[in-house]
Amino acid sequence: MIALLTGQLAARTPEQIILDVAGVGYRLQIPLSTFYALPEQGKVQLQVYTHVKEDAINLFGFATATEKDLFGLLISVSGVGPKLAITTLSHIPSQELALALSEGDIPRLVSIPGIGKKSAERLILELQDKATAYALSAAITSSAEVKGTIHEDSRQDALSALVNLGYKESLARRALTQLSLPPDAPLEQILKAALQILLK
């Protein structure tokens, strides 16, 4: 199974690319998010999902491992094939998709072409727990870029405490991502700051 390819970009369209790897051209279908991340020419490296069917082997390329993982999660759901999964990733950034799934955001999901209310409900039912890890990781990364990351153990303790206080997990997580605190902030300080946001 091919999981990663590095080579020269031989051809590039919004739907697919051809990657020249040591003289062999690999055709990879891609989402628009990956297309935007690619140079017009030169050497590139893509995460690859190999999709095997009875009559074909198709390769799907992704700029990030998160996109590839979310693609795998999407096609694991009954009724969601590779085409719809690629369309989904083309219309919503991977971080937003993970957040929408983890928070059960049906309106956000049905805004994607090809996904109706029943499909959105099925995606949330089957992927909510799995997507939460990606949503939290994306939120931590985003927060770290601007504010610095609170230690993960402290964040999890704070999240658990807020949920025990009666706050919805999605609201508590969102509040924690908005904090501007040093990485070594004590749990008490994290909780006080998060409560100030939640009580607004």
- Going by C-alpha positions, the residue among 116, 93, 74 that lies closest to residue 33 is 93
Residues 95-143: tens digit of each pLDDT = 889 989 988 999 999 998 899 999 999 999 999 888 887 776 655 444 4
Average pLDDT taken over every residue of the chain: 86
Q: Which domains does the chain have, with CATH numbers?
A: 1-63 (2.40.50.140), 66-146 (1.10.150.20), 148-198 (1.10.8)
pTM of the predicted structure, to 2 decimals: 0.69
The confidence score (pLDDT) of residue 184 equals: 78
Residues 38-86: tens digit of each pLDDT = 988 899 999 999 999 888 899 999 999 989 999 999 999 999 999 999 9
pLDDT score of 193 more than 60: yes
Question: Which ranges of 76-200 does DSSP label H, i.e. alpha helix?
Answer: 82-91, 94-103, 106-110, 117-146, 152-164, 169-177, 187-198
Name which of 21-25, 119-123, 164-168 the model is least confident about. Answer: 164-168
Q: How far apart are CA 66 and CA 69, in angstroms?
A: 5
